[in-house]
Amino acid sequence: MFRNVAELVELAETNNKKISDIMIEQEMKVRNKTREEVLETMERNLVVMEEAVERGLQGVKSHSGLTGGDAVLIQKYIATGKSLSGDLLMDAVSKAVATNEVNAAMGTICATPTAGSAGVVPGTLFAVQNKLNPTREEKLRFLFTSGAFGFVVANNASISGAAGGCQAEVGSAAGMAAAAIVEMAGGTPSQCAEAMAITLKNMLGLVCDPVAGLVEVPCVKRNAMGAANAVVAADMSLAGVTSRIPCDEVIDAMYKIGQTMPVALRETAQGGLAATPTGRELEAKIFGFSLNKES
């Protein structure tokens, strides 16, 4: 039904529908399912997200010991009333972190669009719900909207850190979340696209450099910042701010940047933070030896 963001927005606006409507209809057509069946499948994904956030906010630790407990610390900080960036933003950060801490602890999460970037979409959803008070169906629509933009990225660029760096994972997730926030807040399909563009272009070039090759450091905190980026970009779009570079061109730029990114910065743990002295020390402590002695 649509191949890029321009076509997605045109379909929505021409038919006076939301982005989520277009994605639901596409799922019905592709999967040969009824609307109820498509919503039921997404409901299962939403439940997984809810359970992951709840578990993470109770406090978890990864088997490596590299990550865990930060979501709890952030919630405690929010409770002090001293948050400089605001409770909603920090709540999104905390819940994004909670999800990825569960992932690092080998728990069940919903890849959105990948496991390493799974915190951004639910983190923002469960934070903005406290302000926007969405119905259950509106929460499902949030996921369909984010999925529509993820669909475009996956088919025109990449959502893989190994192929395009963290810009392709957390960057894509943040853009997906920003677009979904805009729709839930009452924005137009065009504003959803603007939010995606604003978010992604500010995460271009983000490398994938996991310490010890594990999806923990800096992955968990990158989800936190991706969530913050998404919320701010959504607000900018809702305020009427637009991206000078169209969304599809931003996605294309991300793809080309990923292609030129050195292999050492694409999930190989050969460069970036993974290659720092502390990164190598942590790697040796976890595995008993360095995976990349030449570094």
What are the tens digits of pLDDT across the range 164-218? 999 999 999 999 999 999 999 999 999 999 999 999 999 999 999 999 999 999 9
Q: Domain range holding 187?
A: 5-50+120-287
The Cβ of residue 47 has, within 10 Å, a number of other Cβ atoms equal to 11
Q: Which residues contact 154 (CB under 8 A, 6 or more apart)?
A: 113
Instruction: State how far the alpha carbon of 20 is from the alpha carbons of 24, 35, 39, 88, 271, in Å.
Output: 6, 12, 11, 24, 39
3-state secondary structure at position 61? strand
What the block records as the tokens of 233 is 């970009």
Nearest in space to 217 (alpha carbons), one of 123, 164, 286 = 286
Residue 141 forms part of a structural domain: yes
Strand partners, 208: 266
**Is-contact 101 67, C-beta < 8 A?**
yes
Residue 104 forms part of a structural domain: no
What the block records as the tokens of 25 is 């209809």
Residue 215 forms part of a structural domain: yes
Q: Which residues contact 67 (CB under 8 A, 6 or more apart)?
A: 61, 100, 101, 104, 216, 217, 220
Question: What is the per-residue pLDDT across 133-170, written as a single tens digit (0 to 9) for each?
Answer: 999 999 999 999 999 999 999 999 999 999 999 999 99
List the chain residues with pLDDT less than 50.
294-295
Stated pTM of the model: 0.97
Residue 97 forms part of a structural domain: no
Domains: count for the chain: 1
pLDDT score at 1 = 87
Residue 45 forms part of a structural domain: yes
pLDDT score at 290 = 67
Q: What is the DSSP letter of 81?
A: T
CA dist 78 and 221 (Å) reads 17
